[in-house]
A and B are shown apart, each in its own frame.
Chain A
Amino acid sequence: AQKITQTQPGMFVQEKEAVTLDCTYDTSDPSYGLFWYKQPSSGEMIFLIYQGSYDQQNATEGRYSLNFQKARKSANLVISASQLGDSAMYFCAMREEGNNRLAFGKGNQVVVIP
């Protein structure tokens, strides 16, 4: 069964605009962590932000914020003030407690246009 679902098609975003990338997950474990990674065309995987299932507040890291809705099992990434360098694939991932396996979604393609 797929644990992480990212279904949005490729997105074009105007520079300086905000963009929201959807991620829903499936787990019966009460304790888990959610991660977002960025993969630019150069291929490396860059860690962006982490949200723990027991965290009371939504995680933020600079221009990245995570809209965590636990009851809906969603962990959407919000990128504010998009920059040309934000053009990349974005992957949502989950790790359940006691398990070091990161389950990745299929990714969202974002292209920022000037």
Chain B
Amino acid sequence: DAGVIQSPRHEVTEMGQEVTLRCKPISGHDYLFWYRQTMMRGLELLIYFNNNVPIDDSGMPEDRFSAKMPNASFSTLKIQPSEPRDSAVYFCASSLLEGVDEQFFGPGTRLTVL
């Protein structure tokens, strides 16, 4: 299996622009997670899905952030409008089951908002 795939790997944009991050989870995994990593706040869970349904979005910072999972093999995280404080590495992860099953992380998208 190719693992979790994220695109783009790097994104540089200007403040106010819309940013869309993409994720393809490992085939057969029922859970998909979006994380954000910054120096100040470390790794934070933004939202996670189970069988394409958002379960917990309490980590989404504000209404500028939205996430969708239209099918089992694709998810997007959108920021509109973007702000410099959104600059971070965004990780997507997937897991097969809840409980003991580990989460497999994608390579991350490094977002820079100028």
Main SS at interface, chain B: strand
| Chain B residue, CB-CB nearest to A101 | B45
- Given A50-B100, A101-B45: A45 and B56 interface contact (C-beta under 8 Å): no
Q: Chain A's nearest CB lies how many Å from the CB of B14?
A: 23
Of the residues A44, A97, A100, A104, contact of B55 by C-beta under 8 Å: A100
B100 touches A100 (CB 8 A): no
Interface residues of A (CB under 8 A from B): 33, 35, 37, 43-47, 50, 52, 91, 95, 97, 100-102, 104-107
Q: Enumerate 25 A-B pairs (CB-CB under 8 Å) in ascending A order.
A: A33-B100, A35-B102, A37-B105, A43-B89, A43-B107, A44-B107, A44-B108, A45-B91, A45-B93, A46-B105, A47-B102, A47-B103, A50-B100, A52-B100, A95-B99, A100-B31, A100-B56, A100-B95, A100-B98, A101-B56, A101-B59, A104-B42, A104-B43, A105-B42, A107-B42
